[in-house]
Amino acid sequence: TRLVLATRNAGKITELRAILADAGITHGLIGADAYPEIPDVKETGVTFAENALLKAHALATATGLPAIADDSGLCVDVLGGAPGIFSARWAGRHGDDEANLDLLLAQLSDIDAPHRGARFVCAAALALPDGTETVVEGELRGTLRTARAGADGFGYDPLFQPEGETSTFAQLPLSTKNAMSHRGRAFRELTPLVRKLVE
């Protein structure tokens, strides 16, 4: 069997392929970019789990293949959990990571270190063409730096320092990020199901 990765975010795809490879799943993975004719899914849910399921079901239905999807974001304590499900378009334009980082720095400019807590959340969804679904969540707490550090990763990684680390996600190797991240935690729960489908 083949499996569709129902995301067009290049950073997520890199991480998902590595997480799945660690679980022995390396063959038959098809990125959503292989289906340019399938329109972007409208993320009308109000939770990460709802949006992840919308994306997984849309691709499973359109392709006739099992699909996994990731809906994720950064929830900042002093912002009452924002940007949350709006993380990708916080500054206005979808996927404009640099503008999102600038906006977050500005919003936290008066906030001192002990109050710069945040968590990353990831909902990992698996949907089958017959409508069967599974969704699980992973999260990771950390703190937000006052300036960018590091060049790896994507999104808010240059500002996010995971709990117990002295580096940001953008300074850590991919394998280290995946071992502790919200995405790693969520998708490692799904891999036993995924392995059954693809073997």
In the complex with Na ion, the residue whose CB is nearer, 25 or 60, is: 60
CB atoms within 10 A of CB 9: 17
Helix (H) or strand (E) holding 29: strand 29-31
Dist. CA 29–CA 131, nearest whole Å: 20
Q: Which residues are catalytic?
A: 71
Is residue 171 a contact residue for ligand ITT (CB under 6 A)? no
Backbone angles phi, psi at 171, to 5 degrees: -100, -10
Q: Closer CB to ligand ITT, residue 43 or residue 78?
A: 43
Task: For strands 67-76 and 3-5, give the pairing.
Answer: parallel
Task: Give whichever of 118 and 172 is closer to Na ion, judged by the CB atom.
Answer: 118
Contact segment (CB under 6 A) with ligand ITT among 17-25, 108-116, 151-159, 191-199 equals: 151-159
Residue written as token pair 């970019």: 33
Number of neighbours of residue 189 by Cβ within 10 angstroms: 15
Give me the least distance between CB of 51 and Na ion, in Å please. Answer: 5
Footprint of ligand ITT on 60-99 (CB under 6 A) = 70-74, 87-88, 95
Amino acid letter for position 197: L
Give the pair of three-digit tokens for residue 162. Answer: 């995971």
With binding defined as CB under 5 A, does residue 157 bind Na ion?
no
Selection from Na ion, ligand ITT, none that 185 binds (CB < 5 to 8 A by kind) is none
Applying CB under 6 A, the residues found at the interface with ligand ITT are: 7-9, 12, 43, 55, 70-74, 87-88, 95, 100, 120, 153-157, 169, 181, 183
